[in-house]
């Protein structure tokens, strides 16, 4: 099987597994991108995410993750379920209502990598999804899957914003996607105007110290200890405000993997997006850990979620 035939097979396998887009970009050093990343760090916008300050050499040169790297295969996983919390209920980001996307997407990428190995037994590859110092959005944009908007999302002209990126690093050449997607933001600043805390600064910059998503997930501080006190607008895990403001969010058909549909559990028959503040607070740590053991919410943990509820009053 030649490389063109392999590429078509990968596309077919990805569609069978539910990915809505696939593209390939050749390996290169990410010199321009890492310069922008260094500027972001110099401004202190990474806040308490010290891990972003590490492994800068890998972000610049992903071949350090896979010697002999030739091709970066990029895939988009859809999670546009169209379900939002009821009015006045605590809000959870739409990507986090179902199962944790990391093992779900990685599992499907490993199936593709295994199929590649059946044809090219000597091929070596690694799979990632927001799980290593890899500049995934830049690679996906380079592979023709979309453009990076002012809200810092990868935006697909066919599928909008409700997608998650999966990446396979491969040490064999695959025909590259010869397409660049022109930015579709134009003069629109709706995301920046909609951000209630001023976290979006434009030019690809986001001040995490003011970001609702950062404060409700990544920050190790309780809400009273945050250097920048912000109104979290009812969000207790993540934030969709800039996404909801973007005109591209309505692009494409409603399409969502079953794994990303709002989580249901015997202890939570109505679904996670139905919980009131009182129900969240009366849950207890053991029940929380049982319900959310395979959910993105486990990253924040019970104590953090309870503190986020307190922060919203």
Would you state the pLDDT for residue 178? 81
pLDDT band at residue 166 using 50, 70 and 90 as cut-offs: very high
CB 108 within 8 A of CB 15: no
Active site includes 130?
A: yes
Delimit the domains of the chain by residue range: 3-81+100-170, 190-311
pLDDT tens per residue across span 61-118: 999 999 999 999 999 999 999 887 777 889 999 999 999 999 999 999 999 999 999 9
Q: Which residue has the higher pLDDT, 158 or 265?
A: 158
Distance CA 120, CA 261 (A): 35
Residue 1 has pLDDT above 80, yes or no: no
pLDDT tens per residue across span 24-55: 999 999 999 999 999 999 999 999 999 999 99
CB 151 within 8 A of CB 242: yes
Q: Three-state DSSP class for 48?
A: coil
Residue 3 has pLDDT above 90, yes or no: no
Compute CA distances 104 → 21, 69, 78, 169, 288, whole Å. 17, 24, 12, 18, 21
pLDDT tens per residue across span 184-210: 999 999 999 999 999 999 888 999 999
- In the predicted model, what is the mean pLDDT of residues 3-28? 96
E strand intervals along the chain = 21-26, 71-78, 91-92, 125-128, 147-148, 154-155, 163-170, 200-202, 205-206, 235-237
Compute CA distances 108 → 140, 210, 220, 234, 304, whole Å. 17, 35, 32, 34, 30
Q: Which of 35, 61, 100, 130 is catalytic?
A: 130
CB 106 within 8 A of CB 131: yes
The torsion region of residue 148 among left (phi > 0), alpha (psi -120 to 50) and beta comes to beta
Determine the straight-line distance between the first and last CA of the chain, rounded to whole angstroms.
61
Would you state the pLDDT for residue 253? 84
Beta-bridge partners for 73: 24, 168
Would you state the pLDDT for residue 273? 79
Closest CA to 140 of 189, 179, 89: 179
CB 71 within 8 A of CB 176: yes
Helix, strand, coil percentages, rounded to 5, for the chain: 40, 15, 45
Residue 131 has pLDDT above 90, yes or no: no
E strand intervals along 171-275 = 200-202, 205-206, 235-237
CA of residue 298 relative to chain centroid, distance: 16
């Amino acid at each position: 099987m030649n490389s063109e035939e392999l590429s078509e097979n990968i596309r077919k396998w990805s569609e069978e597994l539910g990915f809505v887009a696939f593209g390939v970009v050749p390996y290169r050093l990410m010199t321009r991108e890492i310069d922008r990343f260094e500027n972001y760090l110099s401004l202190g916008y990474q806040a308490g995410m010290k891990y972003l300050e590490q492994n800068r050499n890998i972000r610049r040169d992903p071949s350090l993750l896979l010697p002999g790297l030739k091709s970066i295969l990029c895939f988009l996983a859809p999670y546009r379920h169209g379900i939002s919390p009821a009015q006045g209920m605590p809000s959870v980001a739409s990507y986090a209502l179902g199962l944790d996307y990391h093992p779900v997407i990685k599992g499907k990428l490993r199936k593709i990598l295994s199929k590649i190995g059946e044809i090219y037994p000597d091929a070596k590859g690694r799979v990632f999804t927001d799980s290593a110092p890899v500049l995934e959005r830049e690679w996906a944009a380079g592979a023709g899957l979309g453009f990076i908007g002012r809200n810092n999302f990868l935006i697909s002209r066919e599928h909008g914003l409700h997608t998650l990126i999966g990446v396979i690093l491969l040490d064999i050449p695959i025909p590259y996607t010869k397409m660049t997607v022109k930015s579709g933001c134009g003069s629109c600043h709706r995301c920046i105007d909609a951000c209630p805390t001023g976290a979006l600064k434009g030019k690809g910059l986001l001040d995490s110290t003011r970001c609702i998503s950062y404060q409700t997930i990544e920050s190790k501080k309780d809400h009273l200890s945050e250097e920048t006190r912000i109104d979290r607008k009812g969000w207790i895990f993540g934030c969709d405000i800039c996404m909801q403001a973007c005109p591209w969010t309505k692009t494409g058909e409603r399409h969502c993997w079953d794994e990303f549909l709002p989580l249901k559990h015997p202890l939570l028959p109505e679904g996670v997006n139905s919980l009131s503040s009182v129900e969240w607070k009366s849950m207890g740590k053991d029940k929380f850990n049982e319900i959310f053991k395979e959910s993105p919410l486990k990253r924040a943990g019970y104590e953090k979620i309870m503190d986020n509820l307190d922060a919203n009053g």
